[in-house]
Amino acid sequence: MRQKILIGKKIKKICKRNKVKFLINDDPLLAKVLDADGCHLGQNDMKINKARSIIGNKIIGVTCHNSIKLAKMAIRSKADYIAFGAFNVTKTKKVKYKASTKILNEANKITNTPIIAIGGVNSNNYKKLLLNKANFLAISSYIWNNKKYKPRQAIEKLR
């Protein structure tokens, strides 16, 4: 935990300097310790109401894989955003659920809750997700593990 706190404090400074929200994945207790802007919960993490009791009125997002049923549960629990994916092949983690742009359109019909698209998002496919009404994109390996571009160059390709 100590190592996570040290690293988290450094990342928080970088986020603040760049006016970017700082969310902790899977760990509301760490989010509280770091006074992060919020946390993201996977389906196997604690429930939103428990996380809310820990971090208060901060951002809480929930993974919904490719399920409108999970999205409805997250919305009822007052999630600040819902995340769907993976939309594409990714090496960041093992993909159990494949999502299509159809889920973005379905979700937009039932909620105004912001929608995040995740999974293999890169400069070749991000526009399709945005055109299908994803509000935000979660992009990891394209930026950090890109063999062709350094992180800043990869980000520039997304502009």
For residue 39, what are the contacts with CB-CB under 8 A and spacing of at least 6?
Answer: 23, 24, 25, 26, 27, 28, 30, 31, 51, 55, 58, 59, 60, 61
Burial (Cβ within 10 Å: 0-12, 13-18, ≥19) of residue 26: middle
pLDDT in the model for residue 95 = 78
Which CATH number characterizes residue 64's domain? 3.20.20.70
Say what the pLDDT of residue 81 is.
Answer: 98
pLDDT, residue 92, reads 75
In a domain, 68, yes or no: yes
**Residue 1 falls inside a structural domain:** no
pLDDT tens, residue order, the chain (159 aa): 899 999 999 999 999 998 999 999 999 999 999 999 999 999 999 999 999 999 999 999 999 999 999 999 999 999 999 999 999 887 777 778 899 999 999 999 999 999 999 999 999 999 999 999 999 999 999 999 999 999 989 999 998
**In a domain? residue 45:** yes
pTM for the structure as a whole: 0.91
Number of separate domains in the chain: 1
Q: Which residues pair with 129 in a beta bridge?
A: none
Q: Which domain holds residue 76?
A: 22-156
Q: Is residue 123 part of a domain?
A: yes
Q: Tell me whether residue 42 is in a domain.
A: yes
